[in-house]
Structure 1
Amino acid sequence: MEDKNIINNDFKDIVFNRQSVRKFDPTVKISHDEFEQMIAETASAPSACNLQAWHFVIVDTPEGKEKLKSYFMKFNMPQVETCSDMVLLFGDTEAFKSYRDLWTKAYHNGQIDKEKLDEVFSTFLPLYEHADYDTLVMDASIDSALAAMQFMLVARSHGYETNPIGGYNTKKAAETFNLDAKRYVPVMAIAVGKRAPQDKPEVKSVRYPVKQICEFA
Structure 2
Amino acid sequence: MSEKYTSLSEIIHERKSVRKFDPSFEISREEITAMLSEATLAPSSSNLQPWRFMIIQDQDTKKKVREYSFNQAQLETASAIIAVIGDTEMYHNIDEIYNANLEAGYIDKVNVELQIQNAKTSYPNAPVEARLNIAAFDAGLVSMQLMLIAKAKGYDTVPMGGFDKKQFAEAFELESRYVPLVLIALGKAAAPAYGSTRLPIEKIATFV
Q: TM-score range by the shorter chain?
A: over 0.9
Question: Structure 1 pair 15/105, CA: closer, same or farther in 2 (3 Å)?
Answer: same
Question: Size of the alignment, in residue pairs?
Answer: 207
CA distance in 2, matches of 1:122, 1:178: 32
Residues 29-108 of structure 1 mapped to structure 2, 5 A cutoff:
29-74=26-71, 76=72, 78-108=73-103
User: 1:204: how far off?
Assistant: 2.1
Gaps of 5+ in 1: none
Contact 1:67 1:176 in 2 (8 A): no
* Amino acid corresponding to residue 191 of structure 1 in structure 2: A
2:203 corresponds in structure 1 to 212
* Amino acid corresponding to residue 192 of structure 1 in structure 2: L
1:157 corresponds in structure 2 to 152
- TM-score, normalised to structure 2, is 0.94
User: 1:202: how far off?
Assistant: 2.9
CA distance in 1, matches of 2:86, 2:6: 29
Gaps of 5+ in 2: none
Determine whether 1:121 maps to 2:116.
yes
User: 1:139: how far off?
Assistant: 0.6
CA distance in 2, matches of 1:157, 1:96: 33
CA distance in 2, matches of 1:68, 1:26: 16
* Amino acid corresponding to residue 164 of structure 2 in structure 1: N
1:195 corresponds in structure 2 to 189
User: 1:203: how far off?
Assistant: 3.5
Residues 169-180 of structure 1 mapped to structure 2, 5 A cutoff:
169-180=164-175
Q: Secondary structure at the residue paired with 2:186? A: strand
CA distance in 1, matches of 2:170, 2:160: 18
Contact 1:9 1:157 in 2 (8 A): no
Root mean square deviation of aligned Cα: 1.5
Regions of 4+ moved over 6 Å: none
Q: Specify which of 6, 19, 24 is matched with residue 22 of structure 1.
A: 19
User: 1:176: how far off?
Assistant: 1.4
Question: Percent of counterpart pairs with the same letter?
Answer: 36
- TM-score, normalised to structure 1, is 0.90
